[in-house]
């Protein structure tokens, strides 16, 4: 672990990242502009919620509305957009179509747009949760709404200043995969023994330790108008979700609660257009829900609201001590990778068909029928898939966009080896290519490694993706 990450764990919040300084002369000559916007993307009753593995059924009501939130930055030479959506995940082609609309309407190149999902499990999974024509209608509308958020943010461009920082939020996070004694873990859904991970659906009473570290850092990008009025805050935290929903109710989870709390505190009489808060998901593929800080029993959605409030309050303490700068260079690069897909072999397909043809038979695992269906679906996939990796430079801040549910080891490695003073990664960016275990985690097994539409890239995919992200960061920095 580098000295930069060690400092993150021990220094006071206001010094976690090296912040930037400002001067009146720079503020007068810079061309830095920023704009933000939020567009409501709440689906109608009857639209399918998050599905595939956990079948959550249709929307029956709305606890809190979900949004597509966008931030556009322009340094006079380069213009980029970051769009964070309150959705479980979105397949690449839908993001690509939204980017195309933005380009046609504004001229903003598609390779200057990062689009991501927060991974709330109380929202649609596009299109993998599809169950009806109503879902298709929502997806078509959603594409236009996500594009509209970026278009509106660009229309709101105004002179701006930026700073970044972070705080330690490690007490809220825990790895949800546990290393267990050899031979102690129950059979996986395919009836195979030998795994060493107790996870979402693997049982063992012989736990050794968590299988991986957490990333404790909640990173913050704070954007102000030139007069100091808050314009937007983009947070990034590596925690899977909060949960504690009521079945059928739409919710943006703690990501939405955080945004609402920040808006409540940072909106002023001068906030025109409105302040936009947003929280993106970091590398949290192997991290559980937001951990409660007390033994209280919370009602549905109550811990979501409370945890969002706590994150917002800690963010404000950092934001209020930052120094802002207006002469920042903005750059962005992306690269496409073609990776193999772990399609089932003939033996696995024969197993799957036997399970599905005799649904009443007793199976080795309660999810065997689900994974039999997944094997059949994976057999329809092409041999390879093309994905996008992106890197953004905002002064000495680096941001990486990764299209998977990424494990913390990958995020920590990118932070450790990044050439920038501060770096964070957004998962589920520009697509939703399943879990991304490291090769070591693949060898240990567990839910996140089982071949399905939720985990299908080749075993070495993480190595290729991580190396590409670091290569892009170094190119931006040189």
| Residues 144 and 162 occupy one common structural domain | yes
Check if the beta carbon of residue 457 is closer than 8 Å to that of residue 448. no
| Residues 266 and 399 occupy one common structural domain | yes
Give residue 351's domain range: 178-208+344-378
| Residues 25 and 156 occupy one common structural domain | yes
Q: Give the pLDDT confidence score for residue 223 in this predicted structure.
A: 98
| Residues 324 and 185 occupy one common structural domain | no
Average of pLDDT values for 125-145?
A: 94
How far is Cα 5 from Cα 398, in angstroms, rounded to an integer? 15
Burial class (CB in 10 A: 0-12, 13-18, 19+), 200: middle
Pair of tokens at residue 241: 């979700």
Average of pLDDT values for 437-457?
A: 97
Residue pLDDT, tens place only, 348-391 = 999 999 999 999 999 989 999 999 999 999 999 999 999 999 99
Overall number of domains in the chain: 2
| Residues 51 and 98 occupy one common structural domain | yes
Cis peptide leading into residue 273 (ω within 30°): yes
| Residues 416 and 351 occupy one common structural domain | no
Evaluate if residue 7 carries a pLDDT over 50.
no
Evaluate if residue 255 carries a pLDDT over 70.
yes
Q: Give the pLDDT confidence score for residue 16 in this predicted structure.
A: 41
| Residues 115 and 147 occupy one common structural domain | yes
How far is Cα 325 from Cα 327, in angstroms, rounded to an integer? 6
Q: Give the pLDDT confidence score for residue 30 in this predicted structure.
A: 58
How far is Cα 445 from Cα 263, in angstroms, rounded to an integer? 42
β-strand partners of 48: 58
Strand-pair category, 178-180 with 384-394: unpaired
What mean pLDDT, rounded, does the chain reach? 92
| Residues 246 and 355 occupy one common structural domain | no
Which of 29-33, 147-151, 351-355 is predicted least confidently? 29-33
Share of the chain above pLDDT 70, in %: 93
Among candidate residues 378, 401, 427, the one where a domain is terminated: 378
Evaluate if residue 68 carries a pLDDT over 90.
yes
Q: Give the pLDDT confidence score for residue 237 in this predicted structure.
A: 98
How far is Cα 404 from Cα 428, in angstroms, rounded to an integer? 5
| Residues 230 and 257 occupy one common structural domain | yes
Evaluate if residue 458 carries a pLDDT over 50.
yes
| Residues 186 and 171 occupy one common structural domain | no
Residue pLDDT, tens place only, 407-429 = 999 999 999 999 999 999 999 99
| Residues 365 and 252 occupy one common structural domain | no
Among candidate residues 378, 398, 429, the one where a domain is terminated: 378
The pLDDT confidence band at residue 251, using thresholds 50, 70 and 90, is: very high
Q: Give the pLDDT confidence score for residue 54 in this predicted structure.
A: 56
Average of pLDDT values for 224-236?
A: 97
| Residues 63 and 117 occupy one common structural domain | yes
The pLDDT confidence band at residue 271, using thresholds 50, 70 and 90, is: confident
Among candidate residues 357, 378, 399, the one where a domain is terminated: 378
Residue pLDDT, tens place only, 170-221 = 999 999 999 999 999 999 999 999 999 998 888 888 999 999 999 999 999 9
Average of pLDDT values for 243-256?
A: 95
């Amino acid at each position: 672990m580098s000295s930069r990450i060690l400092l993150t764990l021990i220094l006071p919040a206001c010094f976690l990242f090296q912040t930037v300084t400002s001067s009146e002369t720079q503020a007068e000559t810079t061309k830095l502009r920023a704009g933000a916007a939020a567009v409501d993307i709440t689906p109608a009753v009857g639209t399918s919620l998050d599905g595939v593995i956990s079948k959550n059924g249709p929307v029956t009501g709305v606890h809190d509305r979900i949004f597509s939130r966008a931030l556009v930055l322009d340094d006079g030479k380069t213009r980029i957009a970051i769009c964070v959506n309150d959705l479980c995940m979105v397949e690449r082609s839908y993001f690509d179509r939204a980017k195309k609309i933005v380009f046609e309407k504004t001229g903003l190149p598609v390779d200057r747009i990062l689009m991501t999902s927060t991974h709330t499990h109380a929202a649609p999974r596009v299109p993998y949760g599809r169950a009806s024509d109503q879902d298709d209608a929502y997806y078509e509308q959603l594409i236009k709404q996500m594009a509209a958020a970026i278009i509106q943010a660009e229309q709101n461009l105004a002179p701006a200043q930026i700073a970044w920082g972070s705080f330690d939020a490690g007490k809220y996070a825990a790895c949800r995969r546990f290393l267990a004694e050899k031979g102690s873990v129950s059979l996986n859904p395919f009836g195979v023994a030998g795994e060493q991970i107790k996870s979402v659906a693997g049982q063992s009473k012989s736990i050794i330790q968590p299988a991986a570290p957490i990333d404790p850092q909640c990173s913050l990008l704070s954007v102000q108008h030139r007069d100091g009025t808050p314009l937007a805050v983009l947070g990034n935290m590596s925690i899977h979700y909060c949960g504690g929903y009521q079945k059928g109710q739409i919710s943006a989870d703690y990501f939405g609660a955080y945004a609402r709390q920040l808006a409540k505190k940072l909106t002023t009489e001068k906030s025109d257009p409105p302040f936009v808060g947003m929280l993106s998901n970091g590398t949290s593929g192997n991290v559980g829900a937001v951990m409660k800080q007390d033994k209280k029993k919370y009602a549905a959605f109550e811990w979501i609201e409370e945890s969002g409030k706590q994150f917002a309050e800690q963010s404000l303490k950092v934001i209020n001590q930052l120094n802002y700068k207006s002469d920042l260079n903005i750059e962005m690069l992306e690269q496409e990778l073609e990776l193999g897909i772990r399609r089932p072999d003939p033996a696995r397909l024969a197993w799957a068909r036997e399970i599905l043809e005799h649904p009443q038979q007793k199976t080795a695992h309660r999810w065997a029928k689900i994974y039999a269906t997944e094997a059949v679906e994976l057999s329809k996939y092409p041999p390879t898939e093309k994905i996008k990796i992106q890197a953004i430079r905002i002064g000495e801040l680096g941001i990486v966009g990764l299209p998977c549910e990424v494990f913390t080891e990958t995020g920590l490695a990118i932070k450790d080896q990044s050439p920038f003073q501060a770096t964070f990664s957004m998962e589920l960016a520009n697509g939703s290519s399943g879990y991304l275990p490291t090769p070591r985690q693949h060898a240990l097994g567990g839910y996140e490694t089982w071949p399905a539409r939720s985990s299908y890239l080749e075993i070495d995919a993480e190595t290729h993706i991580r190396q590409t992200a670091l290569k892009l960061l170094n190119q931006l920095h040189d």
